[in-house]
Structure 1
C-alpha cells in the first residue's frame, strides 16, 4: 500500500502490530524508549517521546503517528499536529486517556454511566466524600497510573495525605463500586467515521493487573452485549477517538454497567482477538489510524480465553518451557514479548479458542502454567 505507520513506544503492543503490518503491506517504524525493547524488531529510532525534536524527526519518516501508550505529553502531540503530521488518536482525544478527571467530566457530559466521583483538593474534601459514600472510596492520581499504580482504596482521608502533599492539583475520588465482575468493550473508529464493536469480554484482575479474559463474556445476554457495544461506540464518537478504544467496565448485581477506565490503543483485554476474531485488534488499529476500511470483529469460535504470563525472578529454561507448553497444548497459542522477566511483569500471554468453555479455559491456563 506504500503507507508507513510510526508507533511511539516500543512495548509489546507495538511489537504485536508488526505482523499485521507485514500482512497488510504497510510499513511500520517504532520510536523505542531504549534499546532491546519488545518492539526492537521494528525500532528504527530510539529516543525520548517527551522531546519534541526527537518525535518530530521520527514523524517525518512516516505517514501517520500512533502510540503503544498514552504518555506522550500534550505539547509534543500539539507540535506534531501543527507540523502537519497525521496523529491518531489525536491530542484532543488522548487528553481524556491521560487525565482521569478530564475523562470523568467528559463522560458525565456524554451521559455515560459511571461511578460517583469528585475532584478533591485536600483531606477535608476527601473526608466529606467518604462520609457520603459509606466510609470507603477509591482515590486515584489523575495522570500516570496504570496496572493498579496510582490507585488506592481508602477508609480514612489521612491515607491519601502523601499524595495531597506531593501531587500538583486535585486528586480523583470515586465510589467503591460493589461490582460482580469486570468487563471490557473494544471499539475501533477511523477518521472518516466508520466504527465497529467487538463482543464484550469478561476480564479477571489480580493485584491490579489483568490476569485472564474470556470472550464473549459468559452469561452476557443480547441486551448486555448491545448496551456495552452502544456505550463503547458513543464514547469513541463523543471523545473523537481514532484507532482502537478499550472501555473497561464494572457490572453490578442489578446488571448495570459503569465505565471504569479508558485506553486509546490496543489493550490487554483485547489480546484474545489475535486468535479468536476475524480481525485482531492490532490489525484493526492499523486499519483505523490509516483510515482504511475496518475488518469484521466477529469471533471465529464460540469462546476465546486469554491468560497473561507474568515474569518471575529469572529467565532460566524459558526456551524449554516454551517447547514443553507447545508440545502439551498444541491448540493453545503462546505469544511472547521478548522482555526480560521480573516478578509481576507481563512477558507474554496464551490464547485458546473453541466451542467448549471449560476445555478452552483449561488449555489456556495449563499452557500458561508452564511459565509460572
Structure 2
C-alpha cells in the first residue's frame, strides 16, 4: 500500500517480499527471508532508507543494517519497544503514561499471585510475536497457560526476548476500543489524525469509524497527547498507532503500540488528505508531513475477514461496485482463509448511519 503514494511522489521503492505468494508480490523486487541478515543487507544495497510493514524483523538484522550504515526507520531502539510487550509496558510506565496494571510472570506462582490481587481473572500475553488476538488469553487459573510457561524454558525461545517471561494485565472493563495514529519525522515534526473507534471481532479488527463518535474535546485531546508523547519520547520515525481502551470508569488506557502503518488507519487512504502510507514515506525520508484533514465528516472502514469460500474477491467486484458505487474497495490479493484480512472497504460521507450501512453492504458482497 506504500507503492501508489511512492509513485505519486516520484520515489523509487524496493520491496523485499517474504515469499512468492505474499500480497507484496506485485511490487516485490526481491523475495527472501527477512530473518536472514545477509539477505536483508544484500537487499539494502543502494537504498536510502529501510522501513517495515510489521514489527517482527529480528533485532540482530536491524543492528546489522545500522552497523552497515543503512538508515533504518524506525530505529532498532524504538522498534524494540513495540516488539516486546514487557519492554513496552515498562517503558510506558516509566514515562508516566496510563496503562493497565501489569506484572512480569516467570512462574505459575507469579500468575497465581496476580490473579489473587485482581479478582481471579487476568489477561496473559506472550511477550513477543502476538497479533490479531494471537498470543493473548483471558485466564482464571495458571493451568490455562501451562504450555506457555513450559515454553519459557525451551532453548529454542527467541534469545532476543525479555528473558523468558509472560505479561499479565488486569482485565480492563471498557466501553470501546480506540486507536490514535500520529506520524513523526526525524527532525521532530509530528502530525495526528483523528482518534478512531475500532470494533473487534474474535480479537481481529472488523470495523473502524473515523473519527470515533462522541470523541471531540477531552477524549480526543488525551488520545493525541498520549500518542505524541510516545512518538517524541521514543524517537519514533514514521507512523505510530496507539491502541487504547476507553474504560467504563472514564479512563483512557494504552493497550498496544504499532510502529508502522496500522489497520486502524487504512481509512485514511480514501478519507484523509494524506494517507498513513504517504505520510510514512514522508516521515522516513524526513520530508515535510502532509495535512491530516478529512474529506467528509465520517469515514467507515470494514475489513473483509476470511473472504468468499468459492472464487475470489475479484469475482465479486462487479456486483459490489454496482450495488455501492461510492465504496472504495481494496483487494489484497490474498487467498481466502477463515479470519484472515483479505481486503477492506471504505465509504465516506456526512451521515454516519448511512456511511456504515453502505460500507457494510459493500463488504457483504465478498462473504458467503
Which residue, out of 286, 296, 305, partners 2:300? 305
State the shift of 1:157 in Å: 1.3
The superposition leaves residues 278-297 of structure 1 with CA deviations (integer Å, 9 ceiling, x where unpaired) of: 10000000101011100011
2: distance between equivalents of 1:77 and 1:119? 26
Which 5+ residue runs of structure 1 have no aligned equivalent? 1-15
Deviation for aligned residue 1:55: 0.4
**Could you tell me which residue of structure 1 aligns to residue 274 of structure 2?**
279
1:42 to 10, 13, 27: 27
Question: Which residue of structure 2 aligns with residue 355 of structure 1?
Answer: 350
| Structure 1 residue 315: Cα displacement | 4.5
Which position in structure 2 is the counterpart of 1:319? 314
* Structure 1 contact 313–343 (Cα < 8 Å) conserved: no
Which of these residues, 137, 140, 162, is aligned with residue 125 of structure 2? 140
Q: 1:78 to 1:173 in 2, by over 3 A?
A: same
Residue 157 (structure 2) aligns with: none
Give the count of matched residue pairs.
357
Deviations 1:213-272 (A, max 9, x none): 000000113111111001100011111110000000000123211000000000000001
Aligned twin of 1:370: 365
Whole-angstrom CA distance in 1 between matches of 2:301 and 2:282: 23
Structure 1 residue corresponding to 2:101, chosen from 94, 116, 126: 116
1:94 equivalent to 2:79? Answer yes
The answer on whether the counterparts of 1:188 and 1:284 sit within 8 Å (CA) in structure 2 is yes
Task: Indicate whether 1:29 and 2:24 are aligned.
Answer: no
Q: Does 1:231 align with 2:216?
A: no
Determine the C-alpha separation between the residues in 1 that align with 2:311 and 2:40: 37
1:178·1:252 contact (CA, 8 Å) conserved in 2? yes
Cα deviation per residue 1:142-180 (whole Å; 9 max; x = unaligned)?
001011000000011111111000125110000000011
Partner of 1:63: 48
Tell me, what secondary structure is at the counterpart of 1:40? Answer: coil
Find the aligned partners of 1:288 and 1:239 in 2 and give their Cα distance.
15
User: Do the aligned partners of 2:237 and 2:283 also contact (CA within 8 Å) in 1?
Assistant: yes
Return the alpha-carbon distance in structure 1 between the equivalents of residues 240 and 148 of structure 2. 29
Q: Shift in Å at residue 313 of structure 1? A: 6.3
| Contact 1:136/1:176, CA 8 A, preserved across alignment | yes
Structure 1 residues 300 and 284: alpha-carbon distance in aligned structure 2, compared to 1, 3 A threshold: same
Pairwise CA distance, 1:317: 5.4
TM-score, normalised relative to structure 2: 0.95
Structure having the larger proportion of residues in strand? 1
1:9 matched residue in structure 2: none
